[in-house]
Each structure stands twice: as C-alpha cells, then as structure tokens.
C-alpha cells in the first residue's frame, strides 16, 4: 500500500493538469469564430500548457499538398513557408503529419534537420510535435513546441499537448465548416442575384431587337424607296436624304451590336462570379487568333470613341500567329486598356493638355498561356482547361 501512494498521487496530479489544459483551451477557443484567431490561441495555449519557449502551427492545404506555417512564436520568419510532407523525409513535422503519431525529439541525441534553425537563428534543443487531428480522422496539420523552459519535455507533456491538439482540431474543423456554410450561402445569394440580372437583360435585348426589326429597319427600307423615287424628280433632295440616313444607318448597326455584345459579356461575367467566390474559376485556354479578339473588342468601343471624336484603328493583326489564350480574360484586359485610354484622352481634351504621339504598350495579361506570361509562377495543371492538346505542349 505505501508504494502505491506516490503512483496514485502522480496520476491524480496528471489528471488535474489535463483538466486544467482542457479548461484553458476550451475557454480560449470558445469565443473565437475566426480561423486565424483560433490558430493563434491554439499555439499560445499550447506553449503555456507545456511551458515551452517557442512553437509553430502548420496547416495542410490539400489543393497544393503542402504544410504551411500559419502561426509561429519564436521563429516568426517561418510564417508562410511550406513543407512538402510527401518528399520531406527528415523533418519531424512531415513525419508526424504522415503517420499521425506524436514525436518527442532531443536534438543533441537524435538526428535532426537544422534547416529552419539556420534560417531563424533559433537553437532547438528539444522538440515536441503532435498531429492536429480528431479521433479517427486524418491530420489537418501539425503542432510543434520547442525547448521546455525548465528541463526537458516528458511523456506527460506529450499527452497534454495531444489533448490540446485534438480539441483545437475539432474547433478549427467546425470553424472551417461554418465558414464553408457561410460561403455557400453567399454563393447561393450571388447565384440568385445573377439569375435576376440575366432575367433583367432579357427584356432589354428584346426591346433593342424589336425596335430595330419592327421600326428602324422598316423605316430605312421606306426611306430607301423614297430616295430612289426622288433621284429622278429631285436629285439634290435625294442626295440630302441619303446624306442624312447613312450616318444613322451605320450608327444603328454599331449601337445594336454593342448593346447585344455588352449583354452577352454581362451574362458571362455574372456566371463566373459564383465560381470566383468559391475559388473554382479557371482559365480556359484555346489556340486562337488574338487579331480576331482585338477586332471584336475594339468594335464594341467604336460607339464610345465616336462620341469623343476619337478614331480607333489597327493594323498588322493578320501577321500574328494563333497561340493559346483565354478569350474572355484577354478580351477584357484589352477592352479595359483601350477604354481607360479613351477616358484619359477625353480628360486631356477638356483640360487642353492633349499631346499626340505614337507609343507601344506591353502589359501582363492574366489569361495568356503560361509560356507567354511574364510571371514565373506556374499555373497548376488541375486548374488548366484547354480544347487543344498542343496548347499544353507549347
């Protein structure tokens, strides 16, 4: 009996400490809804619970298949850095994430990869790494604490940190689900709004089409007949009539085309908004002639340009060979570029500060195929859609 007392006392003390850890992590996370705040509090409570000097919390990003340092205390330079858990065979974080088993490491006695110590200047002596996971589920990340303030980490610390990590993983997972539900609600609302916008465009397009087909075209046909009749009886009057009609005919063709094209653009963009909100919008690459896109987009700006007494012209487009691009994104970039230039010209004319001179423009366009982009950041193949296998091989 006397020999059992210390063991019972130790068990009671450990149980009390575990209860305190549970109470602290629950109190710290109960009022937090934001995922970033949850991560920050999880790391702080973890260091306090096992009396560690420094630590880091890494979350796994499935789309990129990387562990990312989200919050760090003591090695702040590591925030944002990444680990590939599939190829990193030396790091403890990668090992714990792969196996789902906690690791207690003494760097003076065991092999340890000091790469992060070199980056931060921090000297790691003891390292305790536990998976962020709930019972029966794969890890969503890794929790690491470094250098116990007094002594070394023990199995008791391992058990305490596993409790903290398990509770934190549950709260973080719930917060993510709440965020996803909120995002789903926003996406549904945007979808409903997009549907209403598309419905609102339908009568506009119908009015334009009816006005042109039922009134404008018959009017021009009647005026053409009057013009032919006047050619013999009053040629001067016939010429005046033709001079009055031709600009309006040309204008109506451009105006109708511009309105219909703009409605089509709005429908396309509304359809993409929900995809952007969900983060699933992708570039759609095809081998196309950029000359055709330039002609199409500049045609839509002719009405605006004419109102501002600006002439838009282009040349040499037939010499540009087809290449892989996203028609929508490149078209919008071109449209915005010229539209902004028209605005600048209009402002300069009003201020009487206009200066005419030729210039060349080179700009980065999101929507060009990766080999044509000026960015060194690659596009993930999973987000790449193309109708032509050759686009992938160029």
The three state secondary structure string of 69-111 is: EEEEECCHHHCCCEECCCCCCCCHHHHHHHHCCCEEEECCCCC
Torsion of Cα atoms, 160 then 163 then 169 then 172, to 10° = -80
Beta strands in the chain (DSSP E): 52-61, 66-73, 82-83, 103-106, 126-132, 141-148, 283-288, 323-325, 384-386
Q: State yes or no: pLDDT of 88 exceeds 80.
A: yes
Ranges for all domains in the chain classified under CATH 3.30.450.40: 4-175
Strand, helix or coil at 56? Answer: strand
Q: Note the pLDDT of residue 380.
A: 31
Nearest-angstrom CA–CA distance, 84 and 94: 7
Supply φ then ψ for residue 284, to 5 degrees. -120, 105
What's the chain's length in residues?
394
Q: Note the pLDDT of residue 391.
A: 46
Token pair recorded at residue 274 = 């929900």
Percent of the chain with pLDDT over 90: 4
Residues ≥6 apart with Cβ < 8 Å to 364: 373, 374, 375
Q: What superfamily would CATH give domain 4-175? A: GAF domain (3.30.450.40)
Average pLDDT over residues 211-231: 89
DSSP β-bridge partners for residue 143: 57, 130
Question: Where residue 142 falls among pLDDT bands split at 50, 70, 90?
Answer: very high
Nearest-angstrom CA–CA distance, 131 and 146: 15
Q: Note the pLDDT of residue 353.
A: 64
Least confident of 24-38, 74-88, 301-315: 24-38
Residues ≥6 apart with Cβ < 8 Å to 140: 59, 60, 132, 133, 169, 172, 173
Q: State yes or no: pLDDT of 14 exceeds 70.
A: no
Nearest-angstrom CA–CA distance, 186 and 136: 32
Supply φ then ψ for residue 140, to 5 degrees. -105, -5
Q: Note the pLDDT of residue 42.
A: 79
* Neighbour tally for 350: CB within 10 Å: 9
Task: Answer with the residue of higher pLDDT: 252 or 369.
Answer: 252
Q: State yes or no: pLDDT of 1 exceeds 50.
A: no
Q: Note the pLDDT of residue 292.
A: 86
Average pLDDT over residues 43-54: 83
Q: State yes or no: pLDDT of 373 exceeds 50.
A: no
Cα atoms in the 13 Å half-sphere on the side-chain side of 389: 0
Q: Note the pLDDT of residue 98.
A: 92
Q: State yes or no: pLDDT of 2 exceeds 50.
A: no
Strand, helix or coil at 120? Answer: helix
Task: Answer with the residue of higher pLDDT: 15 or 197.
Answer: 197
Do the Cβ atoms of 146 and 52 come closer than 8 Å?
yes
Average pLDDT, the chain: 76
Nearest-angstrom CA–CA distance, 158 and 38: 21
Q: State yes or no: pLDDT of 99 exceeds 80.
A: yes
Token pair recorded at residue 379 = 């596009």
With vertex at residue 376, the alpha carbon angle to CA 371 and CA 380, rounded to the nearest 5 degrees, is 70
Most confident range (mean pLDDT) of 21-30, 125-134, 355-364 is 125-134
Token pair recorded at residue 292 = 């055709």
Question: Where residue 368 falls among pLDDT bands split at 50, 70, 90?
Answer: low
Task: Answer with the residue of higher pLDDT: 375 or 211.
Answer: 211
Token pair recorded at residue 208 = 């334009």
Greatest Cα pair distance, the chain, in angstroms, is 133
Supply φ then ψ for residue 280, to 5 degrees. -110, 5
- Mark 11-40 as b/e (b = at least 16 C-beta within 10 Å): eeeeeebbeebbebbeebbeebeebeebbb
């Amino acid at each position: 009996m006397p020999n059992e007392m210390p063991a019972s006392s130790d068990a009671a003390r450990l149980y009390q400490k575990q209860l305190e850890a549970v109470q602290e992590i629950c109190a710290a996370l109960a009022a937090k809804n934001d995922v970033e705040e949850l991560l920050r509090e999880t790391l702080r409570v973890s260091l306090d619970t096992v009396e560690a000097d420094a630590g880091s919390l890494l979350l796994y990003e499935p789309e990129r298949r990387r562990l990312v340092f989200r919050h760090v205390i003591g090695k702040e330079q590591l925030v944002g850095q990444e680990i590939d858990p599939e190829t990193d065979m030396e790091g403890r974080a990668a090992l714990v994430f792969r196996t789902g088993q906690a690791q207690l490491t003494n760097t003076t006695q065991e092999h340890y990869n000091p790469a992060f110590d070199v980056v931060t200047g921090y000297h790691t002596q003891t390292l305790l790494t536990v998976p962020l996971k709930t019972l029966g589920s794969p890890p969503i990340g890794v929790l690491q604490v470094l250098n116990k303030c007094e002594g070394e980490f023990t199995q008791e610390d391992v058990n305490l940190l596993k409790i903290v990590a398990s509770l934190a993983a549950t709260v973080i997972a719930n917060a993510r689900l709440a965020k996803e539900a909120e995002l789903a609600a926003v996406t549904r609302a945007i979808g409903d709004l997009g549907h209403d916008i598309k419905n609102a465009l339908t009568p506009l397009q119908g009015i334009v089409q009816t006005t042109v087909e039922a009134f404008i075209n018959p009017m021009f046909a009647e005026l053409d007949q009057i013009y032919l009749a006047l050619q013999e009886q009053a040629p001067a009057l016939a010429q005046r009539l033709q001079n009055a009609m031709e600009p309006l005919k040309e204008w109506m063709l451009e105006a109708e085309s511009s309105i219909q094209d703009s409605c089509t653009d709005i429908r396309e963009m509304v359809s993409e908004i929900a995809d952007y909100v969900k983060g699933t919008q992708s570039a759609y690459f095809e081998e196309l002639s950029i000359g055709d896109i330039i002609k199409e987009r500049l045609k839509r700006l002719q009405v605006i340009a004419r109102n501002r007494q600006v002439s838009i012209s282009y040349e040499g487009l037939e010499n540009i060979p087809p290449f892989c691009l996203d028609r929508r994104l490149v078209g919008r970039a071109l449209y915005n570029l010229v539209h902004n230039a028209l605005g600048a010209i209009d402002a300069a004319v009003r201020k009487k500060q206009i200066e005419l001179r030729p210039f060349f423009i080179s700009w980065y366009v999101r929507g060009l195929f990766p080999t044509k982009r000026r960015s060194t950041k690659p596009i993930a193949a999973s987000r790449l859609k193309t109708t032509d296998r050759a686009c992938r091989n160029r």
